[in-house]
Amino acid sequence: MHKKQLHIVSFDVPFPANYGGVIDVFYKIKSMHQERVGVILHCFQYGREKSEELESICEKVYYYKRKMNWLGFFSKTPFIVYSRKNKELLKNLMKDDFPIIFEGIHTTASISKINKKRTFIRSHNIEWEYYKNLLISEKNLFKKFFFWVEHIKLKLYETKIYKDQNALAISEKDQKWLINNGANAVLVNPFHRNESIKILKKTDDYVLYHGNFNVRDNEDAAMYFIELFKFLPIKLKIAGLNPSKKMKSSAFGCNNITVIDSPQDQKMIQLIRDARLNLFYSTHSSGVKLKLINALFNAQRCLVSHEYLVNSDLSLMCISVDEDNWKGKIEEEFNRNFNFEMIKNREEILNNYSCSFNINKVFRFIFQ
């Protein structure tokens, strides 16, 4: 018999755990299962299949269809929230008085109808800021207009929804925003697959940039590095989900640049471990990037833009690079021997990013 039970409302079916948000959800559920806490999972379907894996680690799994019609665009409610409004979900949540974790504001359409003592929002991003950044980087005029409208709706919605609300922030930066807007917010770092540091003593002679290239920011970063490495005598490997034709054609003919299209998980981990340097570039910050956490558990050195340092302890494990100094920093670090004494320091810091540490923090907050 489980000691405790709770509901988790997920914005998507969190398996397979192969992109940022669902990775956090899946490994949170898995950690709860290992601690014998029963999870009643509610998830929205829009392209993903029902999962036997989820059903094996949850008390019960409910699936709901997400409404993907464009009528939601004309609602005052943000589309990511409107499209997940569901009467059956609310009915199922009201069957008992267990605590409820809403994964992202996406799932909070019915939260105002539930006692706040039961409700906790897992903030994956400050969404209006994220959409504002999408607006800035988007080239398509129709999408640009959509992001502009949505970021305004989201700012109004988030400012209201978090007032006097329990929240699980994913970064120090987000926690500060949440507290300033009236939330009772604690920092809970992202959940992930890594259990221990597995850094190789010997690496290959290449630099890696990786990411999900369906995300505009990742493609822009890849294009930035392709142009940069055309003038560097160092091998660059770019690996990730769905690299565009534009990216491939830009790298074509450059003997030192290789684009690896959608490698399997184990292949990606091996690429991260074997690389002499792992690169992380962005022009805006949003949450803690799980790909950086993966690299810190598996790679020797991580060179990052300042925007990645959303937690103060990340700066103790990464090499921060100024916007105008990437070329020089890559050359400098590529030719420098790795100091293995740093691993012990990283290990101590990464204890705060372990799933066991995170889940105990969640339990203390929810079941206090």
Query: In this predicted model, what pLDDT tens digit does every residue of 70-103 receive, in sequence order?
Result: 888 889 999 999 999 999 999 999 999 999 999 9
- Residues sharing a CB contact under 8 Å with residue 333, sequence separation 6 or more, in sequence order: 277, 301, 303, 319
For the ranges 17-26, 144-153, 172-181, 295-304, the lowest mean pLDDT is seen at 17-26
Whole-number pLDDT of residue 2: 54
Whether 229 shows a pLDDT value over 60: the answer reads yes
CA dihedral 263, 265, 270, 273 (to 10 degrees): 120
Whole-number pLDDT of residue 69: 86
Whole-number pLDDT of residue 73: 87
Whether 158 shows a pLDDT value over 90: the answer reads yes
- Residues sharing a CB contact under 8 Å with residue 85, sequence separation 6 or more, in sequence order: 67, 77, 109, 110
Length in residues, the chain: 368
Whole-number pLDDT of residue 240: 95
Q: For 24-43, what is each residue's pLDDT tens digit?
A: 999 999 999 999 999 999 99
Whole-number pLDDT of residue 163: 97
Strand, helix or coil for residue 101: strand
Whole-number pLDDT of residue 138: 87
Q: Which residues of 41-58 are buried (b: 16+ CB within 10 A; e: fewer)?
A: bbbbeeeeeebeebeebb
Tell me what the mean pLDDT of segment 240-266 comes to.
95
> Is this structure's pTM higher than 0.85?
yes
Q: Report the CATH number of the 4-188 domain.
A: 3.40.50
Tell me what the mean pLDDT of segment 280-296 comes to.
91
Residue 36, both tokens:
């014998």
User: Rounded mean pLDDT of the chain?
Assistant: 95
Contact 130, 286 (CB under 8 A): yes
Tell me what the mean pLDDT of segment 313-323 comes to.
96
- Residues sharing a CB contact under 8 Å with residue 166, sequence separation 6 or more, in sequence order: 116, 119, 120, 121, 183, 184, 185, 365
User: Taking the CB of residue 187, how many other CB atoms lie within 10 A of it?
Assistant: 19
For the segment(s) 206-352, the CATH number from 3.40.50.720, 3.30.2420.10, 1.10.8.60, 3.40.50.2000 is: 3.40.50.2000
Whole-number pLDDT of residue 222: 98
Which runs of E-coded beta strand occur in 26-127? 37-45, 60-65, 100-103, 119-123
- CATH 3.40.50.2000 placement within the chain: 206-352
